[in-house]
Amino acid sequence: MSHPHAIVVGAGIGGLTAARALRRSGWTVRILDRGDALAPTGAGMAVAPNALRALEVIDAAEPVRRLAAMQGAAGIRDPRGRWLNRSDVATAERAFGGPIVVTLRHQLVRILSEGIPAADLRTHTPVSGVEPGGPDAPAAVTTGAGERFEADLVVVADGVRSRLRTALFPEHPGARHSGVTTWRAVLPAPPTPAEPAETWGDGRVVGLMPLADGRTYFYAAERAPEGRRHPDERAYLLSRFGHWHAPIGDLLAAAAPEDFLHHDVPEMLDPLPALHRGRAVVLGDAAHAMTPHVGQGGCQAIEDAVTLALLLDGATPADVPARLPHYTAARAARTAALVRRSHNAARLAHATGPVAVLRPALLRLTGLLPTSVLARQFAPVFSWRPPAPGVPAVPGGAARPAREV
């Protein structure tokens, strides 16, 4: 029996997880990325218990758990520093079924890339086209340099601005601006240690998350039209957040303007008609871009990738087209519901109209509720488990998602 062969386009969180998981199931995998995939870029990222469970399948959960730094209180504060909602991390861990590990994106990328031979990862190779193939024809991709590679499976993991999603589903409107813009930075430890928290006020959000190396992952978000930029992003952030509770002002004052990554946030409120076509699958942000307000974009990319490899376990090249509908069945409803839930969380976080008046009351109310009640709200998100390897007895099988997440 010949080894099935996959091409993965994009060596981000989803693409690397897919490559690791498919290799583990006996596939030969080649990864193509337009950039310098493993460079230490990007900022922080929270890895939730559902994603850690997926990472267990590829033996990558333990190294990620070792990066955990969060201790003490965590929750939501108002700009004056009053806790609107607070829980200690240990209680939350017990209630949520495991830790939420805040790490640096490039540390996660490094862990995911372990075991992938350097020869199988081609950087600086933009992919410009995809042919989905079918039962009797291989899938193929074309690079910007005009090379063409055929495969039994093409995994499209080229991120939120996915060119290949548009090629596979030309009638879909793609990802559109959510109305939210974000800043991210990894900053030195402030004089007053930061407790892990988000601060919400006036339709704006700041997050401070201590990292294992003592530094702080800072993020901020507000509503803004697409493309609005500031000559000095740090000066702008100081004007917006410098007067909020300590140590936000100190952290910003000690940072350099170039420390901040500023991105507008696209989302895909219209789901794709399917997450596969022929012998091609779409995963991660390319498939279901969501706002970061539930912290699940990368976690869902990891779930997608591990689910795909498990559903393809034991498949021959000829089996691939018949297996991929199981991937859509397992992933489409869950990820579409999370796009919607993230959108609603963003609306609450950035509300400035009449809803804004209700926001502190809502948060105080949830703050008064025991962590177990909050855990119930998040249970459908965090309690996900990987499907059994192979074709499920029922379409969607063990991975069938809850309708509401």
Ligand X SMILES: Cc1cc2nc3c(=O)[nH]c(=O)nc-3n(C[C@H](O)[C@H](O)[C@H](O)COP(=O)(O)OP(=O)(O)OC[C@H]3O[C@@H](n4cnc5c(N)ncnc54)[C@H](O)[C@@H]3O)c2cc1C
Within residues 226-245, the interface with ligand X by CB under 6 A covers none
95 binds ligand X (CB under 6 A): no
Residue 357 Cβ, how far from ligand X at the closest point, in Å? 26
Residue 150 Cβ, how far from ligand X at the closest point, in Å? 17
Count of CB atoms within 10 A of residue 257's CB?
13
Residue 17 Cβ, how far from ligand X at the closest point, in Å? 8
11 binds ligand X (CB under 6 A): yes
295 binds ligand X (CB under 6 A): yes
296 binds ligand X (CB under 6 A): yes
> In terms of CB distance, is 133 or 295 closer to ligand X?
295
> In terms of CB distance, is 166 or 371 closer to ligand X?
166
The answer to whether 265 and 161 have CB atoms below 8 angstroms apart is no
Pairing of strands 121-122, 148-151: unpaired
12 binds ligand X (CB under 6 A): yes
Which position among 29, 32, 206, 399 is part of the footprint of ligand X (CB under 6 A)?
Answer: 32
98 binds ligand X (CB under 6 A): no
Q: Is 153 helix (H, G, I), strand (E, B) or coil?
A: strand
Which position among 6, 7, 9, 167 is part of the footprint of ligand X (CB under 6 A)?
Answer: 9
The answer to whether 141 and 125 have CB atoms below 8 angstroms apart is no
> In terms of CB distance, is 26 or 126 closer to ligand X?
126
> In terms of CB distance, is 82 or 228 closer to ligand X?
228
Residue owning tokens 């109209």: 353
Kindly indicate which of the ranges 75-83, 297-305, 386-394, 397-405 contains the residues binding ligand X, using the contact rule CB under 6 A: 297-305
Which position among 97, 126, 249, 271 is part of the footprint of ligand X (CB under 6 A)?
Answer: 126
CB contact set of 198 (below 8 Å; sequence gap of 6+): 75, 76, 77, 205, 206, 207
178 binds ligand X (CB under 6 A): no
Kindly indicate which of the ranges 166-174, 294-302, 347-355, 357-365 contains the residues binding ligand X, using the contact rule CB under 6 A: 294-302
Kindly indicate which of the ranges 67-75, 252-260, 291-299, 313-321 contains the residues binding ligand X, using the contact rule CB under 6 A: 291-299
158 binds ligand X (CB under 6 A): yes
Distance (Å, rounded) from C-alpha 311 to C-alpha 224? Answer: 41
Helix (H) or strand (E) holding 139: strand 139-143
Count the residues of the shown chain that bind ligand X, applying the rule CB under 6 A: 35
Give whole-number Cα distances, 405 to 139, 235, 385, in Å: 33, 38, 14
155 binds ligand X (CB under 6 A): no
Considering only CA atoms, which of 145, 167, 146, 164 is closest in space to residue 156?
164
127 binds ligand X (CB under 6 A): yes
Residue owning tokens 């859509």: 328
Positive/negative CA dihedral, 245, 262, 109, 154: positive
31 binds ligand X (CB under 6 A): no
Within residues 37-76, the interface with ligand X by CB under 6 A covers 37, 45-46
297 binds ligand X (CB under 6 A): yes
Locate 292 and state its tokens: 């970061």
The answer to whether 175 and 266 have CB atoms below 8 angstroms apart is yes
Kindly indicate which of the ranges 27-35, 53-61, 273-281, 354-362 contains the residues binding ligand X, using the contact rule CB under 6 A: 27-35
Within residues 185-214, the interface with ligand X by CB under 6 A covers none
| String of DSSP letters for 170-232 | TTS---EEEEEEEEEEEEPPPSSPPPSEEEEETTEEEEEEE-TTS-EEEEEEEE--TT---SS
Fill in the DSSP letter of residue 386: P
Give whole-number Cα distances, 114 to 21, 108, 303, 349, in Å: 12, 10, 18, 37
Ramachandran assignment for 174, one of left (phi > 0), alpha (psi -120 to 50 degrees), beta (any other):
left
Distance (Å, rounded) from C-alpha 343 to C-alpha 338? Answer: 8
> In terms of CB distance, is 265 or 315 closer to ligand X?
265
Which position among 87, 182, 199, 335 is part of the footprint of ligand X (CB under 6 A)?
Answer: 182
Residue 40 Cβ, how far from ligand X at the closest point, in Å? 13
> In terms of CB distance, is 78 or 158 closer to ligand X?
158
By the criterion CB under 6 A, which residues form the site for ligand X?
A: 9-15, 32-35, 37, 45-46, 126-127, 157-159, 163, 182, 184, 219, 263, 265, 284-286, 292, 295-299, 301
